[in-house]
């Protein structure tokens, strides 16, 4: 199945009449299979609204979202979704939480045992598989949540500011883990963020979103090698991408 994502004239308005709030769009955008695309914009610009419409949890006011050639008309099952607040349950261990994703889909946990081991190793959590969420730091919880979201090898990943509540050093560590997981599996990823550096570190393309109502001001292709380690982030090319986005936001008075 193709995991190309298309947005055709997608627009969202909340409310009606004088109380109506134009939150997002209209937007036309195609995200090709295997791309990692960041939606980069200020708070309140509608990034998360677009994410919810992509997942089928929110219906567009106008336009259509298409995944793999099929219109999105309800909640999508062949996707991995992750929000700022993880969905780990406190009474299960890390491994148990990851297996919960499999159980909910009717998949055999025994058949996926090696897969779970591989996921835990990729995010350096092998030693914590038997711990409960309350025994872990916030960063460790997010690593476990990434494994939970990706263990069934979804072709599409929707990540809504999953690193937003973490401190700077933990964010950097998990960015690296996320990059590793994406390089191993190459799902189609939409990543919502308001961090300029984060967007360019992780993405093959960055869609720069205007203040509300959010529209795409520019699509920036990020032709830099992976993994994007400190050396790549210190390069003139990386700095040029960051400055380009900063200039766009400066023109809107955002920064």
DSSP letter, residue 15: S
- Give, as one character, the DSSP assignment of residue 74: S
Whether residue 5 lies inside any domain: the answer is no
Tell me, yes or no, whether 1 lies in a domain.
no
Q: How far is CA 87 from the centre of its chain?
A: 15
What pLDDT is stored for residue 18 in this prediction?
A: 84
Shared domain check, 242 and 217? yes
Where does 15-87 show beta strands of DSSP type E? 21-31, 36-40, 62-67, 70-71, 79-82
In the chain, how many domains are there? Answer: 2
Q: Please report whether residue 69 resides in a domain.
A: yes
Please work out, in degrees rounded to the nearest 5, the angle formed at the alpha carbon of residue 178 by the alpha carbons of 147 and 212.
Answer: 105
pLDDT at 1: 60
d(CA 242, CA 237): 9
Same domain, yes or no: 181 and 215: yes
Low-confidence ranges of the chain (pLDDT < 70): 1
The whole-number pLDDT of residue 77 equals 77
Domain match, 185 and 70 both:
yes
Considering the domain architecture, whether residues 147 and 162 belong to the same structural domain is answered as no
| pLDDT on residue 32 | 95
Give the H/E segment covering residue 12. Answer: strand 5-14
Name the pTM for this structure. Answer: 0.88
Q: Which of 123, 139, 154 marks a domain boundary?
A: 154
pLDDT at 76: 81
Residues 163 and 69 occupy one common structural domain? yes
The pLDDT assigned to 94 comes to: 95
Which H or E run contains 145?
Answer: helix 138-150
User: Residue 17 has what pLDDT?
Assistant: 85
Q: Which residues form the domain of 131?
A: 90-154
Residues 232 and 112 in one domain: no
Give the strand pairing for 205-209 and 216-221: antiparallel
Q: Are residues 117 and 182 in the same domain?
A: no
């Amino acid at each position: 199945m193709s995991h190309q994502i298309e947005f055709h004239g997608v627009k969202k308005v909340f409310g009606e009449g004088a109380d109506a709030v134009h939150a997002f769009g209209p937007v036309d955008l195609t995200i090709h299979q295997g791309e990692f695309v960041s939606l980069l914009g200020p708070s309140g610009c509608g990034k998360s609204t677009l994410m919810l419409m992509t997942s089928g949890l929110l219906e567009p006011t106008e336009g259509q979202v298409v995944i793999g050639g099929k219109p999105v008309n309800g909640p999508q099952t062949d996707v991995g979704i992750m929000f700022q607040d993880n969905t780990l349950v406190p009474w299960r261990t890390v491994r148990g939480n990851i297996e919960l994703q499999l159980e909910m889909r009717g998949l055999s946990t025994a058949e996926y045992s090696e897969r779970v081991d591989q996921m835990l190793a990729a995010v350096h959590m092998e030693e914590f598989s038997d711990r409960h969420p309350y025994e872990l730091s916030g960063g460790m919880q997010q690593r476990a949540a990434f494994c939970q979201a990706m263990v069934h090898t979804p072709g599409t990943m929707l990540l809504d500011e999953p690193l937003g509540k973490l401190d700077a050093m933990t964010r950097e560590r998990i960015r690296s883990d996320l990059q590793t997981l994406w390089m191993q599996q190459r799902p189609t990823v939409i990543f919502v963020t308001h961090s300029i550096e984060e967007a360019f570190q992780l993405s093959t393309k960055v869609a720069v979103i205007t203040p509300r109502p959010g529209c795409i001001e520019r699509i920036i292709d990020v032709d830099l090698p992976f993994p994007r380690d400190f050396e790549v982030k210190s390069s003139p090319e990386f700095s040029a991408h960051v400055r380009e986005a900063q200039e766009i936001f400066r023109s809107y008075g955002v920064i």
